[in-house]
Amino acid sequence: MTVSSENCVSSSQSSLTRLAPLEAVLFDIDGTLCDSDPLHYYAFREMLLEIGFNEGVPITEEFFIETVAGKHNDDIASVLFPGDLERGLKFVDDKEAMFRRLAAEQVKPLNGLDKVRKWIENHGLKRAAVTNAPRANAELMISILGLSDFFDAVIIGGECERAKPHPDPYLKGLEALKASKDHTFVFEDSVSGIKAGVAAGMPVIGIATRNPENLLMEAKPAFLIKDYEDPKLWAALEELDKAGAFSLNY
């Protein structure tokens, strides 16, 4: 499957124009604002090696995608350390500390992020970051990316009753912005995140940063893009402009 086709462009345009008048845009963070999954993968792989996990065989990217990507740390801990949740939670906390050290030096914005940021600001839209990452990670990455003043709210899955793939974090994001699900869309890069946005009743633009496109499509995004420079995204946003979808936001 490829991310670009004329039929997909047509479908993507119609899936967003029904949101008029558009009020808000919600973003995941890891893999959505920045390509941070390789840093998470590296931290998990090296730290699991240190404790002899999987009989000392390094975890694969496939294992990372299936077990870790987009999931909440409580769920990851219970899978990696079944029967010893306390140890698992301590491990993931230590792993997050390692990730933050790596991220401080290596996190870069996803291609085209500044372009879509300016488009959102120019159209007067509300915006929130909605993530399963711990707050310390979320705030660090948002700061590094220069987006601390961009987001009106930062919603943490672990601070909700249920994290993604449940809809609770996205519903809390809508509540924080005083926005309607009928006039908001989501950017997400993981199966867990796409499922959460869809369950919250919003169209989700899936970003094929690292996760396999066939898996992302199973979570039922409105359409997939490679990054924020993808012509399919801008064709859909242009249709919103043509539909006069921003009359309430200027």
Distance CA(26)–CA(28), nearest Å, equals: 7
Q: List residues bridging with 130 in a β-sheet.
A: 155
DSSP 64-78: HHHHTTT--HHHHHH
**Residue 229 tokens, joined:** 């420079």
**CB contact at 8 A, 200 and 167:** yes
Distance CA(189)–CA(114), nearest Å, equals: 18
**CB contact at 8 A, 144 and 104:** yes
Q: Is 30 a catalytic residue?
A: yes
**Residue 39 tokens, joined:** 């840093």
Identified catalytic residue from 28, 37, 168, 189: 28
Distance CA(185)–CA(15), nearest Å, equals: 10
**Residue 158 tokens, joined:** 């672990």
Distance CA(62)–CA(210), nearest Å, equals: 11
Distance CA(54)–CA(217), nearest Å, equals: 30
Q: Is 28 a catalytic residue?
A: yes
**CB contact at 8 A, 145 and 110:** no
Annotated catalytic residues are 28, 30
